[in-house]
Each structure stands twice: as C-alpha cells, then as structure tokens.
Amino acid sequence: MMNIVLLEPEMPANTGNIGRTCVATGSRLHLIEPLGFKINEKSLKRAGLDYWDSLDVTVYDNYPDFLERNPEARKRIYMATTKGLNVYTEVSYEPDAYIMFGKESAGIPEEILVEHRDTAIRIPMIGDIRSLNLANSVAVVLYEALRQNGFSHMRTQGKLHRLEWF
C-alpha cells in the first residue's frame, strides 16, 4: 500500500481530490498539521465526493509526530519538490513507499529536504513554472510508483456494459 504524505496542506479542494485518488488506488493519506482548513469542511468532502468515508487517513500534530508514528518512513520516503535532483521516474518505489508533498504556497522546507537529498524527486517542467497543482502532482507521481509495482491489487482492464470490444 502506497502512502501519500501532505505536509501542511492549505487548500481543501486539493486535499479532497487527493483523498479520492488515494481511495481509487488503495493508498493511505497522511496529513501533517497545521492544515489550512478543518477536516470536516464541505469543500474538502465535496472534492472527495462520497469517497471520503472510505479513505484511510491519519492526521499528525507535526512532522516529528509523523516520523515517530511511522518509523519505517525514514527509510522509504520520497520528497516531491521542484528542488529535487532526481526525476520522479528515475527512482524505484517500494510497494509501501511514502511520498511526501509540501504545502501549496511553499513546498517542503529545505531543512527537511537536505536530510533526504537522494530521494528528493522532481516532475520535469519547462521554464520558470513554479509548480504543478498539488493534486495533479500527487496523481502523476503516485501512478508512476503504482506502475513500477505492477498496479498490484488494482483492476487494469475495463468492461463495456452494452457492447463488446471487437
């Protein structure tokens, strides 16, 4: 099971969309406070639709609390950042990897990034674009990690309801 970690997310709609992605992929969501919203906000649940109740989500007081309660994360955490030295497709994700994303306005603090230099990953972009939308970034990196692990436990073929494929 993959683990998505959001450090101090600010926008409820992004977090709701990420929650929905986590439910669709069987991933756990870790939210590290302070949050820029209340966990019961309508906009959060609206973005997550009716999937929010099925979400495996844990909220932590701060980053040290997250590490204390998830000691295995220290060995399997990837830091998604525009400051990363590795392209997100160039690393090998363990089946139970932790992928951390920073808050929308500032990303992951450099004090944390320097501790994870080898696992700081980046989504390539052109020019001086500051970053992609947080929910989009999570989807891009998470699906690469899932692809590398063979989409384990996921349905990989669809089915037509009224017609048959040729």
Instruction: Single out the residue of 72, 97, 112, 101 nearest to residue 148, CA to CA.
Output: 97
Where is the binding site for S-adenosyl-L-methionine, in residues? 102, 123, 131
Where is the binding site, in residues? 102, 123, 131
Q: How far is CA 57 from CA 5, 6, 110, 122, in A?
A: 10, 11, 26, 25
- Between CA 17 and CA 23 the distance in angstroms is 10
H-state helical runs in 10-94: 12-25, 42-48, 63-69
